[in-house]
Structure 1
Amino acid sequence: MRGFVLLPFIVTMGLKVVAQSNSSGLFFNQSSPGNKAILFAPGIVSDELSNRDMAISPAYDELLYTVQYRGGMFSTILHAEKKNGKWSKPAVANFSGMYNDLEPAFSPDGTKLYFASNRPLPGTNTKDYNLWVLAKENGKWSNPVPLPEPVNSTADEFYPSITKSGNIYFTRVMKDKGEDIVYCKWNNNVFEPAISLPDVINTNGDEFNAFVDPDEQFVIYTGYKRKDALGTGDLYISKKNEQGEWTASVNLGTAINGAGLTYCPYISPDKKYFFFSSSRNSIIKTPFEKQQTLTELKQLINQPLNGWDNIYWIDASQFFK
């Protein structure tokens, strides 16, 4: 779940960022990134607010992400849709906007959408975070329903990642240990009890926000305050060997990680693009070279690189050679 930040109250100034064109027409006509991470859809997705998470439908016609305010005062899932070759402007998803919702994730076949929320479970006043799911019926998303036990528990669950086998990986807040990455195996149409991933991934510290390859051949996740970290939290990758065992985690290095927290990894369905969230590259540095006017301060605040979280993307192929 990590990555909640304290946001100031800000007023949109209408700053315009012109998106570059791409013949593929994917992702708001953004130019494809190279081997250096760049802002994703500046002024459209990455704006003056705190933006995080990413989910793209396998058909590349829906895109969801999360906008947050004041360290979790609210988290709302936004949705954009591509029709007749044109993307709609991001808007609050029709199932979000009342409770703290975040971290959407599609099933590999695109028929289900999962997310984390603190909305009360049916018939209860429970306010912990649980995982919820919607199914697509006749081209429309159904009402969300909570996943059953043993996926949901009395602890907080976050950041679902669903595989082709039906297994679900997610973050759970563990008693006396912090956050771990766990999974529930899908077997005979039911979920088995949650199992923590091995010590090559989970440690005595916090591990969270894991993207798991739909074929379960690699996992990318955030390790918090590790000795080899470049920031407060870095993204790591663990791959499976020929015996099907998870291998030692490797820091993804300066191409991905930097100052502060790097989190919310996501690989596009075609494995071409690597998305992540970060507060890096703020252009606000004090002391200023000259005295700022109120107008100038507002212009600094109301643009993507104001120090709050943005979504970045980079060519993914370099990480899977």
Structure 2
Amino acid sequence: MKLRAIVWASALALGFIGSVNAAELLGPGVISTGMQETTAAFSPDGETLYFMRSDLAETDDTILVSHRHGSSWFVPEVASFSGQWHDSEPAFSPDGKRLYFVSNRPVHAGDAPVTASMLGQTFAGTNLWYVEQQSNGRWSEPTHVDGALNEGAMLYNPSIAASGDIYFSAHRPDSGDHYQIYVVHPTADGYAAPQRVDLGDVSHNRMDPCIDPQGRFLLFAGNEGDSLGSADIYIAFRNADGSWSKPEHLGGDVNSKSLENAPTLGHAFGELYVSSNRQEDVRFPKPRDTAASLQKKLTGPFNGSRNIWRVDIADVLRAHGIKD
């Protein structure tokens, strides 16, 4: 994760399209805090939220769970399957029966944690795992997803279509110098070899895919040459022949001059959640801080840490012929 932040910091440009409603911070002080929060994964009914929380350096990632109470969220707890390893990026299957995530936990008990190396750095690696809902409503013990998708131990942000296809970002031999998006198709005995999703020139960094359950559109984070910040959210639409359209930069409040990544879909049509480290503007001279007011600001959601934001892209989808 730390290396990924270095990769994100390599781009800067301008651009916008689309009609998007204003962004809303998710659960200020409860979900979104002065720590790093990313990757919102909602249950199909929208009442349960899994997400990742970590230190600012992202050396210690943990998956948390919170439940909705009316318009509020209960204080999060560590998910039953997390808390011992570098776990991140939860994603529900469309039917809600499985929750996928990535982790450095060893594939076989007693082995060393999974590691990865890139650009002379060694860091916590990732393999794909899932937990399955049991008859008592609890999650099973984690199951490792075997296959070539884990090669290189740099698999991030899984996203699952209703067909069973799994999209993810990774750095693989055909990725070029950056990360790209891949898909694996289910087979009778596992998953086929990963295929790179053709979104154009691999000189552009593309990460954190979010596939529409019906496969009609694909959201991701990156820089197609018109990003407002180090990474923005883009959308590509499925063509009639199965190929993908040229990625379009989402406008409105989806993107900012700050980092945006980890797009995920919510319960309602057009409901999109993104991670961003956007901050409130500071103008000088500012009202004089006290020790208490400074402490509140520096430990709150707008201290430069990443938080989870909700936006509505329903108008963008309808403009491309996608209905509720």
Q: Same fold (TM over 0.5)?
A: yes
Is 1:233 aligned with 2:219? Answer: no
Is 1:191 aligned with 2:188? Answer: no
Q: Give the CA deviation at 1:248.
A: 0.6
Is 1:256 aligned with 2:242? Answer: no
The count of residues paired between Structure 1 and Structure 2 equals 290
Q: Give the CA deviation at 1:199.
A: 3.6
Is 1:59 aligned with 2:45? Answer: yes
Q: Please give the per-residue CA displacement for 1:46-73, whole angstroms capped at 9, x wherever unaligned.
A: 1222211100111333211111103222
Q: 1:164 aligns with which of 155, 162, 166?
A: 162
Q: Counterparts of 1:270 and 1:86 in 2: how far apart (Å)?
A: 17
Q: 1:245 aligns with which of 227, 240, 243?
A: 243
1:17 is matched with none
1:37 is aligned with what amino acid?
Answer: A
Q: Please give the per-residue CA displacement for 1:1-44, whole angstroms capped at 9, x wherever unaligned.
A: 67759xxxxxxxxxxxxxxxxxxxxxxxxxxxx81112112122
More deviation, 265-274/132-141: 265-274
TM-score when normalising by structure 1? 0.83
Secondary structure of the 2:292 match is: helix
Is 1:206 aligned with 2:205? Answer: yes
CA distance 1:54–1:293, shift in 2 (3 Å): same
2:145 is matched with 147
Q: How does 1:61-210 map to 2 (within 5 A)?
A: 61-82=47-68, 88-123=74-109, 124-125=111-112, 126-127=114-115, 128-138=125-135, 139-175=137-173, 177-200=177-200, 203-210=202-209
2:294 is matched with 297
Q: Please give the per-residue CA displacement for 1:211-256, whole angstroms capped at 9, x wherever unaligned.
A: 00111111000114x4211111111100012222211110112431
Question: Could you say which structure has the greater relative contact order, defined with CA pairs below 8 angstroms and 6 or more residues apart?
Answer: 2
1:313 is matched with 310
1:171 is aligned with what amino acid?
Answer: S
CA distance 1:119–1:258, shift in 2 (3 Å): same
Secondary structure of the 1:70 match is: coil
1:207 is aligned with what amino acid?
Answer: R
Secondary structure of the 1:110 match is: coil
Q: Give the CA deviation at 1:151.
A: 2.2
Q: Give the CA deviation at 1:288.
A: 4.8
1:267 is matched with 265
Q: Give the CA deviation at 1:110.
A: 0.6
Q: Which runs of 5+ in 1 are unaligned?
A: 6-33
TM-score when normalising by structure 2? 0.82
Q: Counterparts of 2:74 and 2:21 in 1: how far apart (Å)?
A: 28
Secondary structure of the 2:132 match is: strand
Q: Counterparts of 2:99 and 2:75 in 1: how far apart (Å)?
A: 20
Identity %: 29
Q: Which runs of 5+ in 2 are unaligned?
A: 7-19, 116-124, 319-324
Q: Counterparts of 2:71 and 2:307 in 1: how far apart (Å)?
A: 25
Q: Counterparts of 2:101 and 2:248 in 1: how far apart (Å)?
A: 27
1:234 is aligned with what amino acid?
Answer: D
Q: Give the CA deviation at 1:133.
A: 0.5
CA distance 1:179–1:74, shift in 2 (3 Å): same
Q: Give the CA deviation at 1:82.
A: 4.9
1:206 is aligned with what amino acid?
Answer: N
User: For the Cα contact (< 8 Å) 2:94–2:161, is it kept in 1?
Assistant: yes
Q: Counterparts of 2:72 and 2:229 in 1: how far apart (Å)?
A: 38
User: For the Cα contact (< 8 Å) 1:135–1:142, is it kept in 2?
Assistant: yes
Q: Counterparts of 2:225 and 2:36 in 1: how far apart (Å)?
A: 27
1:31 is matched with none
Q: Counterparts of 1:287 and 1:129 in 2: how far apart (Å)?
A: 43
Q: How does 1:7-26 map to 2 (within 5 A)?
A: none
More deviation, 134-143/119-128: 119-128
CA distance 1:264–1:85, shift in 2 (3 Å): closer
Secondary structure of the 1:295 match is: helix
